[in-house]
Structure 1
Amino acid sequence: MKKMVRILDGNIFALSEDNGDMAFSPTSPSGFFAFDTRFLSTWRLSLDGERLHPLAIHEPSYYEIRFFLVPGNPTHYVDAKVSVIRDRWISDSSFTERLTVLNHTGEPVDYVVRLDIDSDFAPIYNVVWPHASSLRGYRQVSDDRLRLGYQRERFHRVTDVSTSEPADIDDQGLTYRIRVDRQARWSTTLNVRSMVLRPDGADIREQLRHGHGQVGAQLRHDLRQWLSDAPRLECDWEPLATTYNRGLVDLAGLRFSPLALPHETMLAAGLPWSATIIGRDAILACYQTLPFVPRMAATTLRLLALDQGMVLDDFRDEEPGKMLNEFRYGEMAAFEERPQSPYYGGADVTPLFVVLLDEYERWTGDADLVRNLEDAARAALHWIDEYADLRGDGYVWYQRRNERTGAMNHCWKDSPEAICYRDGRLPGLPRATCELQGYAYDAKRRGARLAREFWGDPAYADRLERQAAELKQRFNRDFWIRDGEYFALALGPDGDQVDALASNMGHLLWSGIVEESRAPAVAGHLLGPGLFSGWGVRTLGKGQARYNPLGYHLGTVWPFDNSLIAAGLRRYGFVAEAGVIAETIIDAAQHFAGRMPESFAGYDRDLTRYPVPYPAANSPQASATGAIFLLLRTLLGLEPYGEHLVVHPAIPQRFGRIELLDIPGRWGRMDAIGNARVTVP
């Protein structure tokens, strides 16, 4: 797979080769994308018929990039007589590129600058396959612009390309025939606007947060304000600072305004495959970042409540009270070739909604939101009992209603083979994965607090607490594998234990459903040779039949997964073990320039010496980016307690001193300071 460079602004992004060109590839999702559609599939520059090659790339921010290029293959034997700079940035719905040609000779020179342009309007789902846009596509050429369009009934998308300098424009691109004086330069600015049109010709996104026309200066001011509002980190260990600062910038880049709440922002799940609303990722990222940037949690909760399931709809796996898992704006969703408009195939999103609502109030004191979302939270808790309990045994089960295009697994490990027995067999349906029970337990306990303190319903609170206690007792009986001393990955359709050793049981510690007496064995497995790679906890343990260090959920390491595991270990008093995970995950991030990718390979550290990238990982990805923030919270022992912030540091020696200043919350702003005292085993 070619190395791709990227710029983004929420769910609008561009991916290109290292010379700035975009071209169709069966292995890489190259192009300019907005709202789940590729608006540019070809954007290829040549000078006098030659392709250009990079000397350097400068990335000053998430939304802008600069390429320094020369024609031909540069060597140290031949000095280039001409060079080209491509300055590129994204703002709102537009992709802008300024081309500059520099003549390094002592004479005027004539050049032919050609830009080949095409748009296939492919949905992000299948950008690696040719899209039949020619069947419904059209091209319009005028003196100063090229317009490429695609219309299928009400689905209408347009790519509008304009230029600041005169060009010969044809339906395949633009040609500039220029003369550049000696030691001089020539430049032009091209603007590529993506248009998502209604039947009346208006762009449906006109009311979004930024509004059309936000340019670099405004984006820079917005980023500066975002960074200044976040807590300031001062620490001795440079990798921690690098990862924290990279995380803040990546969170800023993933922000976008959903159509339903056009003046607010939430996080797109990840680039490139998930640059949209993914309920699970949005909730988890908000939970991870609550002590740092709490505003987006309220938007996320309101958005999910607006789209909460109302009816039984087999195609969308929708049920009353269930929260959406995914929302897409592309062609396949629009014509119900795929169910993501929205899709509810996630059994974890609904209990996690209640978890986030409670955690949000604990940090912010926003009782109004808790009261405003009471009906949504009650409906979510009712869904756990009424629709998720498919076998009537008090557990959360899932089985897709949409047998044709619905997801097989409705948990965070949603790839088809992720839920498996130790010997590699796949269980039938329905399935009840272990972490779903932990989330349900936590949701009931938190729902009880909300009912008692804000909804004025102590009887309901008592019932939820009783249900949670019964669930905990039942779970520790039915999921515990005695001969291995760990929790089963799931129960199969007959109630049998799906006995693969997997990272999911770390989420059980985070939720609090594990009996105290069993926590040491769980911690031992999580840090043992089967699951722990030296860079983090693998999704599936070595020794399991389907283990594969490059398998998406079958042996890779996921930073978000590890952040929840570390928080769970700390909850049960395993501070040194939590420190090991924090240290190794942050170590791994340094090999990705401080950025936490969605996942990376699960090879043993002593085998590879560095973390091996997973080829198709989203990067940046919201909940992976959020990992550093939850790890910091875990190291500093940050917990809201009434109107106060409790700080109880447990910091490994390698970290030295950590100061997190101006932590926002219901207390206003507070500082947390800790010194290394924990010896890592």
Structure 2
Amino acid sequence: MDYRVIKNNDLFLMTDRHGDVSGEETPNGLYKRDTRFLSRFELAINGKRPVLLSSAANENYIATFRLTNEHMTENGELLLWRESVEVNRERFIYGDVLYENVSLTNYSTKPVSFRLSLRIGADFADMFLVRGFQPADKLGSVLGREASLFGWSSEYRGADGISKAVSVRWDVQAESANEEGEIEFRVELMPAESKRLRLTVSPSIEGEKPVVLEPGQALAELRQAEERWRAKVTDATSDNEVFNRLYERGVQDLQVLLSDFGFGPFPVAGLPWYAVPFGRDSLIAALQMLPLDPSIALGTLRMMAAHQGTQTDGWKDEQPGKIMHELRSGELSKSGQVPFSPYYGSIDSTPLFLLLAAEYVHWTGDSSSIEALMPAIERALDWIGDHGDRDGDGFVEYFQESSKGIANQGWKDSEDSVVHKDGRFAKAPIALIEVQGYVYQAKSRLAPVLEKLGRKEKADKLRAEAAKLKQALDSAFWMEDEAYYAIALDGENEQVRSVTSNPGHLLMSGILSPEKARLVAERLIAPDMFSGYGIRTMSAEATGYNPMSYHDGSVWPHDNSLILLGLSRTGQLEAARTVVGGLLKSAAQFEYARLPELFCGYGDEIGYPVSYPVACSPQAWAAGTSIVILQAMLGLEPNALEGTFKLSPFLPEGIDRLVVRHLPVGEGLLSAEILRGGNGGPVTARVLENTSGLRLEAAEAAPSRSWN
């Protein structure tokens, strides 16, 4: 990454690799609720930017930058010998406050004296403006700035009438400070002497200022929160270092991406641009996290229900019962200049909401929490049958109504992502293949939940609707000449015949026959679809293929993870091994073993995965991929309603032992060991702990695995 980002709760900071925010011409800054509270935060020695030695943000909430001075002379006179001073910047966020310690150490043999300067600025820009996505019709203005020798502050009132402010404080008296944010300190250091400058940055909205703690206390509390999280969630170790690093990175990233908007833990989509509630992204991340912490699924469902559509509003692409796509809280959204407060232009958020509700109960047995959500669930089901099926053909399709909305409303939401074999872009209304799978899975998995809640008539209705959808799918979407499914039906009900990864999502839904599941799995790992590092979003033989594109040939880890769930559930274990092997090979090449939002679709003949230039990292559903890899290797399928669970394990090449401890399922925890016999022998599963209240369901061992 060419940036460093840290986050805690609702505040995140993005800087360059030096640790600087270098002005409004860059997207870097300190952000809260879609507003940039710091647009400049630069450090200099004698007016010169320090030389970077190293930087890291591998812990997500702490970033460190080690720098030194360049050689400095003036009019032939030496000011500061090169590499005399070490500058160590350590920063973290806690309680919506940014803390930074700047340590200065003299490593020369002589006393040194220099000017340490800070440049601070706050433009209070809306995230949409920073990214250049939406112009503004009207903006607010800065009300004033104040400076003293111990602090600087600025205040802004937006076009939405909301006041915002930022306050920067330091603990050493400055030599000078002005309202333009130019701060200067005089530093004198004897040989081997160190001095430290402590800074805090506090953003506030409508006068609600966060509590500023003593830095040591804040850091200690932050570390304790991280330790509590790690002790709470599932532990997994193997004899493969890459998997171990990938899993630990996923766990860390998912923690930092959790926020609480008043309904429980909720995964925001990703950093830096999507640290906000998303429909599809957050729902999929919560689904991926069931083996880690099922309470996150419940918090996500409650948040979505609270923002469920209530009216027909074309500006927001909203209809009654529809689940939101994206909730923004910046100036443009609050003043109505963009429709994101929230925006509902997503065709898959509503079925994914229902799907997650069903899977949560099957995982935990907690039907009472879902019973409390039944009004929202019923409204979402009504939306699928009404507004979701615009032409009454039994398939759910999308159509953009908002002038500032999104045209393609599936997870591949770029304008060129749904393309015919002849290169034409599909025209809406568009019925995406994977969305039909989500609807089927939601209805078929909700049916026994509703039956458990005494709603047998509704359960029978859902089963009948799911069966009808299953029967209709093949005749509408199956491409006989490709032995594969079309990505979509367009507005003329014509198949969009590009070969893509989308049909792979059907594998987890249960909608496919065993033969069709086999054919889909085989195509997904064929050379045109599998790059060596993961499944491409589009076949390399397709007209629209572009390995550098966002959705037409790139590799998305979360896409692979949903396919992987399906491969595991349908018993396509050789394909599952291939996908896991590719993802592990990818992770080994990325910084911190972190899978990014996406990467380019070039084949492994290059020798490494090629980064996509503006991929978000960390990204929630990319981080959640590591948890899905774990679940898939276990072959874990709980059925808490029936009091059972299945284990159908596999291990990819390079892993011979996997130990999973304290995995939350049912009413308790499950621990298990997965072993491969010597010389490529069978894979065995051994339960080490089971307080879940569920019993292991006996299953006939496949040739590649045995049971004990």
TM-score (norm 1): 0.93
Structure 1 residues 164-191: Cα deviation after superposition (integer angstroms, max 9, x where no partner)? 1111221222111232233312221111
Residue pairs, 1:68-147, within 5 angstroms? 68-72=66-70, 80-128=83-131, 135-136=141-142, 138-147=144-153
Corresponding position: 1:172 with 2:180: yes
Residues 445 and 112 from structure 1, CA distance in 2 versus in 1: closer, same or farther, beyond 3 angstroms? Answer: same
Q: CA deviation at 1:356?
A: 0.8
Name 1:645's counterpart in structure 2: 645
Q: CA deviation at 1:60?
A: 6.0
Corresponding position: 1:665 with 2:669: no
Whole-angstrom CA distance in 2 between matches of 1:48 and 1:116: 13
Whole-angstrom CA distance in 1 between matches of 2:66 and 2:196: 14
Whole-angstrom CA distance in 2 between matches of 1:617 and 1:11: 21
Q: Partner of 1:655: helix, strand, or coil?
A: coil
Structure 1 residues 93-148: Cα deviation after superposition (integer angstroms, max 9, x where no partner)? 22121112222334443221110111122222232559998944531223422112
Structure 1 residues 420-466: Cα deviation after superposition (integer angstroms, max 9, x where no partner)? 11222111111101011111111111221222111x12111111111
The amino acid of 1:194's aligned partner reads: P
The amino acid of 1:147's aligned partner reads: S
Q: Which moved more, 1:307-316 or 1:229-238?
A: 229-238
Corresponding position: 1:162 with 2:165: no
Residue pairs, 1:418-567, within 5 angstroms? 418-454=417-453, 456-567=454-565
Name 1:150's counterpart in structure 2: 156
Structure 1 residues 452-506: Cα deviation after superposition (integer angstroms, max 9, x where no partner)? 111x121111111111101111111110111111111100111110111100000
Structure 1 residues 506-545: Cα deviation after superposition (integer angstroms, max 9, x where no partner)? 0011112223232222112111122111111111111222
Whole-angstrom CA distance in 1 between matches of 2:237 and 2:71: 44
Question: Does the 8 Å CA contact 2:5/2:271 hold for their aligned counterparts?
Answer: no
Whole-angstrom CA distance in 2 between matches of 1:513 and 1:138: 61
Corresponding position: 1:320 with 2:320: yes
The equivalent position to 1:193 in structure 2, one of 202, 209, 213, is 202
Question: Does the 8 Å CA contact 1:53/1:73 hold for their aligned counterparts?
Answer: no
Structure 1 residues 567-594: Cα deviation after superposition (integer angstroms, max 9, x where no partner)? 1122222111011101111220121121
Q: Which moved more, 1:500-509 or 1:174-183?
A: 174-183
Corresponding position: 1:202 with 2:199: no
Q: Partner of 1:221: helix, strand, or coil?
A: helix
Whole-angstrom CA distance in 1 between matches of 2:362 and 2:379: 21
Q: Which moved more, 1:112-121 or 1:229-238?
A: 229-238
The equivalent position to 1:609 in structure 2, one of 591, 607, 610, is 607
Whole-angstrom CA distance in 1 between matches of 2:128 and 2:140: 18
Name 1:624's counterpart in structure 2: 622
Q: CA deviation at 1:238?
A: 1.2
Whole-angstrom CA distance in 2 between matches of 1:165 and 1:301: 47
The amino acid of 2:18's aligned partner reads: N
Whole-angstrom CA distance in 2 between matches of 1:81 and 1:155: 47
Question: Does the 8 Å CA contact 2:142/2:154 hold for their aligned counterparts?
Answer: no
Name 2:266's counterpart in structure 1: 266
Residues 363 and 120 from structure 1, CA distance in 2 versus in 1: closer, same or farther, beyond 3 angstroms? Answer: same
Residue pairs, 1:182-331, within 5 angstroms? 182-197=191-206, 201-203=207-209, 215-258=218-261, 260-261=262-263, 264-331=264-331
Q: Partner of 1:654: helix, strand, or coil?
A: coil
Q: CA deviation at 1:73?
A: 7.0
Name 1:350's counterpart in structure 2: 350
Q: Partner of 1:54: helix, strand, or coil?
A: strand
Residues 221 and 518 from structure 1, CA distance in 2 versus in 1: closer, same or farther, beyond 3 angstroms? Answer: same
Q: Partner of 2:153: helix, strand, or coil?
A: strand
Residues 654 and 105 from structure 1, CA distance in 2 versus in 1: closer, same or farther, beyond 3 angstroms? Answer: closer
Residue pairs, 1:372-391, within 5 angstroms? 372-391=372-391
Structure 1 residues 70-94: Cα deviation after superposition (integer angstroms, max 9, x where no partner)? 11279xxx76222211111111222
Structure 1 residues 594-648: Cα deviation after superposition (integer angstroms, max 9, x where no partner)? 1111100100111x21011111111111111101111111111111133343222
Q: CA deviation at 1:25?
A: 6.9
The amino acid of 1:492's aligned partner reads: D
Question: Does the 8 Å CA contact 2:69/2:84 hold for their aligned counterparts?
Answer: no
Question: Does the 8 Å CA contact 1:635/1:651 hold for their aligned counterparts?
Answer: yes
Residues 73 and 460 from structure 1, CA distance in 2 versus in 1: closer, same or farther, beyond 3 angstroms? Answer: farther
Whole-angstrom CA distance in 1 between matches of 2:572 and 2:97: 49
Name 2:4's counterpart in structure 1: 5
Residues 234 and 183 from structure 1, CA distance in 2 versus in 1: closer, same or farther, beyond 3 angstroms? Answer: closer
The amino acid of 1:550's aligned partner reads: M
Residues 80 and 299 from structure 1, CA distance in 2 versus in 1: closer, same or farther, beyond 3 angstroms? Answer: same
Q: Partner of 1:327: helix, strand, or coil?
A: coil
Question: Does the 8 Å CA contact 2:62/2:91 hold for their aligned counterparts?
Answer: yes
Residues 73 and 433 from structure 1, CA distance in 2 versus in 1: closer, same or farther, beyond 3 angstroms? Answer: farther
Q: CA deviation at 1:234?
A: 2.4
Q: CA deviation at 1:29?
A: 2.4
Q: Partner of 1:278: helix, strand, or coil?
A: coil
Structure 1 residues 8-45: Cα deviation after superposition (integer angstroms, max 9, x where no partner)? 2244211212221111375x521111221111111111
The amino acid of 1:216's aligned partner reads: L
Name 1:589's counterpart in structure 2: 587
Q: Which moved more, 1:176-185 or 1:243-252?
A: 176-185
Residue pairs, 1:37-48, within 5 angstroms? 37-48=35-46
Q: Partner of 2:168: helix, strand, or coil?
A: strand
Whole-angstrom CA distance in 2 between matches of 1:300 and 1:156: 29
Q: Partner of 1:533: helix, strand, or coil?
A: coil
Runs of 5+ in structure 1 lacking a partner? none
The amino acid of 1:150's aligned partner reads: Y
The amino acid of 2:163's aligned partner reads: H
Whole-angstrom CA distance in 1 between matches of 2:113 and 2:237: 54
Name 1:408's counterpart in structure 2: 407
Question: Does the 8 Å CA contact 2:289/2:296 hold for their aligned counterparts?
Answer: no
Question: Does the 8 Å CA contact 1:133/1:150 hold for their aligned counterparts?
Answer: no
The amino acid of 2:166's aligned partner reads: T
Q: Partner of 1:675: helix, strand, or coil?
A: strand
Residues 21 and 509 from structure 1, CA distance in 2 versus in 1: closer, same or farther, beyond 3 angstroms? Answer: same
Whole-angstrom CA distance in 1 between matches of 2:410 and 2:121: 38
Structure 1 residues 256-294: Cα deviation after superposition (integer angstroms, max 9, x where no partner)? 121x43xx3211110011111011111111111101122
Give aligned-pair identity as a percent.
35
Question: Does the 8 Å CA contact 1:45/1:116 hold for their aligned counterparts?
Answer: yes
Corresponding position: 1:50 with 2:48: yes
Q: CA deviation at 1:652?
A: 2.5
Name 2:368's counterpart in structure 1: 368
Runs of 5+ in structure 2 lacking a partner? 73-80, 677-681, 684-702
Whole-angstrom CA distance in 2 between matches of 1:265 and 1:656: 35
Q: CA deviation at 1:408?
A: 0.4
Residues 6 and 175 from structure 1, CA distance in 2 versus in 1: closer, same or farther, beyond 3 angstroms? Answer: same
Whole-angstrom CA distance in 1 between matches of 2:71 and 2:280: 46
